Chain A
Amino acid sequence: MTGYILRRLIQLIPVLFLASIGIWAMVYAVPGSPIGAIVGENATQEQIADAMQRLGLNRPLHEQYWSWLTGALVGDFGQSIQSREPVLHLIMARVPATLQLGLFSILVGLLLGVPVAIISALFPNTWIDRVLSAWSALALGVPTFWLGILLILFFGVQLRWLPAVSTYVPFFEDPLGALRNILLPALTLGTYVSGIFARFLRASLLGELKADYVRTARSKGLPERDVVGRHVMRNALLPFVTIVGLMLAAFVGGTVVTEAVFTYPGIGRLLIQAIGVRDYPLIQGCILFVLVIYVLMNVLVDVLYAYIDPRIEYR
């Protein structure tokens, strides 16, 4: 198992290398230069040349890339052009907030989605299945910014139960305060993923319920809750783990729209701000961070697979 994880991590090196070229080059491929943002619109040629010199932007491209890459390897993504702070610091400061929001959103999604999927799959094509399927479609289809604004209006502005602007409160320092601040954005994202989870798990459960081993389990006279709980669920979870892992990666990587609606201090907002001022080192750092989260989450999902499915042997 350790060998397998190690091998998977080594396999990530070429992936990340190729991606790093893409991320680095992308910034230079789009029109508009960071220089304008740094020196201001009315700068003279000398001021521009001076800034280019200082930031190393006049060196050959491969040299620029090389120094960026070697820096990135030791955690040095350069300085933010805007705030002059190290990019890594800026990202790391936002990670706990994003992580907390991501995990809570997935939790809400599972709590809302899994029961819906199970009830739908156990009574397929009945009125309750149709109602629940319609609900999942709705949850999936409603734009998150609109749902977020609606929740703010209702709970934040009308009822004044919860803050309309969510700040980051660490859960382990102040659980109640953290919940008050995270509930609305987590509900917004959670509702959205619950639709995905419910549809995915329902299909997976329906497929498994047709399997021969289910008939065997029933022929033993097992009660239906054991047939579903012990036999079907574990098999149905296999493909489901993938989708949960991917959604978690997406949320931890930053949820741009929701963070913007709730003015929540996560990675997503950091990225948006960086793009607004063409803070190239920060953009590159944020995207690379999101990418690393994604690929690591994929490895984690594969490892989880082996834990659930004894047929998978990692050598």
Chain B
Amino acid sequence: MTSAPGAPPVLSVRNLSVTFTGSGRDVPAVRDISFDVHAGEVLGIVGESGSGKSVTSLAITGLLPPTARVSGSIRVGKVEVTTADAETLRHMRGREVGMIFQDPTTTLNPVLPIGRQVIEGQVSHGFVAASEAPARAAALLREVDIPDPDARIGQYPHQFSGGMRQRAVIAMAMAGQKRLIIADEPTTALDVTVQAQVLAVLAKRQAETGAAVILITHDLGVVAETADRVAVMYGGRIVETGTVREIFAAPRHPYTVGLLQSLPRLDVVADRLVPIPGQPPTPARLPPGCAFRPRCPIGRDRPLCAAEDPALHAEAGRATACHFPDEIPTLLGAPLPPRAAATPKPAAATLPAPLLEVEKLQVHFPIRTGLLRRQTGTVRAVDGVSLSVRPGETLGLVGESGCGKTTTGRAIMGLIRATGGSIRFGGDEVTTMDPAALRRTRRNMQYIFQDPYASLNPIKTVGDIVAEPLRIHGLFEDAGGMKRVAELFELVGLSRTMLGRYPAEFSGGQKQRIGIARALALAPKLLILDEPVAALDVSIQAQVVNLLQDLQKELGLAYLFIAHDLSVVRHICNRVAVMYLGRIVEQADRDTLYEQPAHPYTQSLLSAVPVPDPARRGHTGRIVLQGDIPSPAKPPSGCPFHPRCFRAEARCSTEIPAFRDLATQPTRAACHFAAPRLPEQAA
């Protein structure tokens, strides 16, 4: 569905610069970028926070705030966006350009019905008569595979699941044969199986309409699977462009190399990630010369790189902005070996006794309704979870949002009351402890939260934040006071000179290090890590993952690692448990679970992870799950996964499968038909 050769591009950007002038001094967010997008093509724009990728998308649609100063040229069809008046831009947005944003929870208006939001743009531009609007809205929802669209148009966003919301946003963006679709991190807020659904719908609608698509993302896997061409942005500039295969097979900019190397992958072995050192620059504080120089293995000490920002050299369809492109291949090193088959694990007799043992843990929340607040139902958030963590090992707990993994972690920590089952820590039962004993035990378990921004009190200095657990337990003086806090700072790779600063002065990665230092203050034996790297940029994520691995080795810590990112889990965990709807459906050592997943849900999850290797695009093994995770208030009868399972038979809807050891491999699974995928399915 590519346009005829020689046809003018749908979008043409030339020498675009965007500078924000609001804060008293000029902040260059986008600096001199040029690119084209043609009909039927997907251009992937890759970059970390602050790289200017989202500002670029707002500039194209003319939605920048008034404090932005734009220079250069943006042509969408016949419209020159940089000089057009507001009314022309408004018509362009309604007719030519559709936008898909990151978080469908906030991008839809909570108080207006979905149908109206999907169609109102078309009505406003006179393409659809008001009388036909409901029917058109329903038709649009049907095109993005939303079941029962006639009833759905009257519902509100909170009545849709996350995946359905994002599909509704796609329907809205593509309404009326738009020629250009800009998708800004369209799947970042979604679970991996839902991401697969949404990307499939996006690809289907693009094929039907022949629209040009700009896909802005930090996820190299998504880019590898969907983009035709790629532009890599750093510090407000495009530093490299090329076809998707070229970029992944032979990157020509040290930043691209760094990104690819810092990514944990499902398909290759690496004992240690290779992070890019330092932080991405903020637009307000760009280093002189090449913006990447302070982090660059080639240019770090070269005067030319510090003095002069390299121009983007184009050559045979590829371009790179580096003074020393010939040296790039030396960075690549030997290709990483593909993963070998699972090696047998040492016999169980040599393993130490578990530090944490959870058995048949239940966390049920009552649903109360009516005048007298009678309990009319139960949300089975956690419904019979058993797991164990040994000293010095990492157990991964994976699953999609709403599966109960965070509730499990919080119940173990005692932040939520368990309604059943047992939790033993170091052999002692936690659920029945008196408050004083519980306090002592809790010292040995610490919790690290997902959001490093929200989990640090903004009005305390970071030194006080890290010292707080010591003070609460009355150990501050005994532990050595601020000297101990300074040691903790150095342990997590921060300077002790930062003790007196406030959280707002730190970047996301540094804040997460502060969170880790706070958790380590009481010298715990177990850390419960709840999505500790999910909010971080790829290059920073690798730094924190490496830090966690180093700390584990150095201090002999045990980790319960709660995450949805299967690649990170494969990299860091020894054993993995997969949760679905409050239950563990499969548990095995890491390699067995990833090489020979036995439960259909694990198989679907693994197949849905985008692989950052465009050569493997279109591998036929993807299982796209239908529907959404059911509500834990009304779990399906029998096996909770059976309504979405490709292997389900009549028995699955009546009989709950036992969580049992499999005869064929060292795996425990709760499935009547647990077995590795057949070769024709695995493809």
Contacts and interface: CB of A to CB of B under 8 A. Distances in A.
Contact of A309 (B63, B99, B111): B111
A154 B93 CA distance: 54
Contacts of B169: 216
Interface in A203-256: 211-213, 215-223, 226, 230-231, 234-235
B158 A218 contact: no
- Of B94, B109, B156, which is in contact with the most chain A CB atoms at under 10 Å from its CB? B109
Nearest to B155: A310
A218 to B, nearest CB: 6
A10 B372 CA distance: 10
Contacts of A6: 371
B147 interface: no
A221 B94 contact: yes
A311 interface: yes
- Among B95, B103, B370, the most chain A Cβ lie within 10 Å of the Cβ of B370
B561 interface: no
Contacts of B94: 220-222
Interface string B530-565: 000000000000000000000000000000000000
B681 interface: no
Nearest to A4: B371
Given A7-B371, A231-B109, A310-B156, A212 B90 contact: no
Interface residues on B, range: 20 to 34
A220 B370 contact: no
A217 B103 CA distance: 14
Contact of A220 (B110, B112, B172, B371): B172
B92 to A, nearest CB: 7
Interface stretch (B4-12, B118-126, B262-270): B118-126
Contacts, number: 84
B63 A221 contact: no
Contacts of A231: 109, 112
B109 A220 contact: no
Nearest to B172: A220
B107 A235 contact: no
A226 B107 contact: no
Interface string B365-380: 0000111010000000
Given A6-B371, A215-B101, A311 B156 contact: yes
Nearest to A215: B63
Interface string B92-117: 11110111010100111111100001
B596 interface: no
Interface centre among A216, A230, A235, A309 (most CB of B within 10 A): A216
B124 A235 contact: no
A276 interface: no
B371 A213 contact: no
Interface string B133-162: 000000000000000000000001010000
Contacts of A7: 371, 373
A221 B88 CA distance: 10
A226 B122 CA distance: 13
Contacts of A310: 110-111, 156, 158
A254 to B, nearest CB: 33
Contacts of A213: 106-110
B91 A211 contact: no
B106 A212 contact: yes
A235 B169 CA distance: 20
Contacts of B173: 219
Contacts of B99: 216, 219
Contacts of B98: 219
B110 A311 contact: yes
A223 B98 CA distance: 16
B72 to A, nearest CB: 21
A231 B124 CA distance: 14
Contacts of A32: none
A235 B370 contact: no
Contact of B111 (A10, A216, A217, A235): A235
B226 interface: no
Given A235-B111, A309-B111, A219 B93 contact: yes
A231 B98 CA distance: 18
A308 B95 CA distance: 31
Contacts of A309: 110-111
B108 A221 contact: no
B61 interface: yes
A215 B103 CA distance: 12
Given A3-B370, A6-B371, A315-B370, A220 B111 contact: no
Interface in A279-315: 308-311, 315
A223 B93 contact: no
Contacts of B93: 218-221
Interface in B40-79: 61, 63
Contacts of A220: 93-94, 120-121, 124, 172
A234 B112 contact: yes
Nearest to A7: B371
B370 A221 contact: no
Nearest to B22: A125
Contact of A222 (B95, B101, B120): B120
A226 B98 CA distance: 18
A221 B91 contact: yes
Contacts of A211: 106
B124 A223 contact: yes
Nearest to A237: B111
A221 B125 contact: yes
A218 B91 CA distance: 11
Contacts of A212: 101, 103, 106-107
A57 B124 CA distance: 73
Contact of B90 (A223, A234, A315): A223
B95 A216 contact: no
A10 B370 CA distance: 13
Nearest to A315: B369
A219 B90 CA distance: 8
Given A218-B63, A218-B93, A221-B91, A230 B112 contact: yes
Contact of B158 (A10, A311, A315): A311
Interface string A167-180: 00000000000000
B112 A216 contact: no
Nearest to B105: A212
A314 to B, nearest CB: 10
Given A216-B101, A310-B156, A221 B110 contact: no
A213 B109 CA distance: 5
A215 B156 contact: no
A221 B101 contact: no
A234 B116 CA distance: 15
Contacts of B369: 315
Contacts of A235: 109-111
Contacts of A3: 370-371
A222 B94 CA distance: 7
A184 B91 CA distance: 48
A223 B92 CA distance: 12
B107 A234 contact: no
A216 B108 contact: yes
Nearest to A10: B371
Interface in A260-292: none
Contacts of A217: 109
Nearest to A6: B371
A250 to B, nearest CB: 27
Contacts of B92: 221
Nearest to A220: B121
Given A6-B371, A310-B158, A219 B61 contact: yes
7 contacts: A216-B108, A216-B169, A220-B94, A221-B95, A230-B120, A310-B111, A315-B370
| Shortest Cβ-Cβ A-B pairs, 4 listed | A221-B94, A220-B121, A221-B93, A212-B106
Given A216-B117, A222-B90, 7 more contacts: A213-B108, A216-B107, A217-B109, A221-B90, A221-B92, A221-B94, A310-B111
Interface of B: 61, 63, 90-95, 97-99, 101, 103, 106-112, 117, 120-121, 124-125, 156, 158, 169, 172-173, 369-371, 373
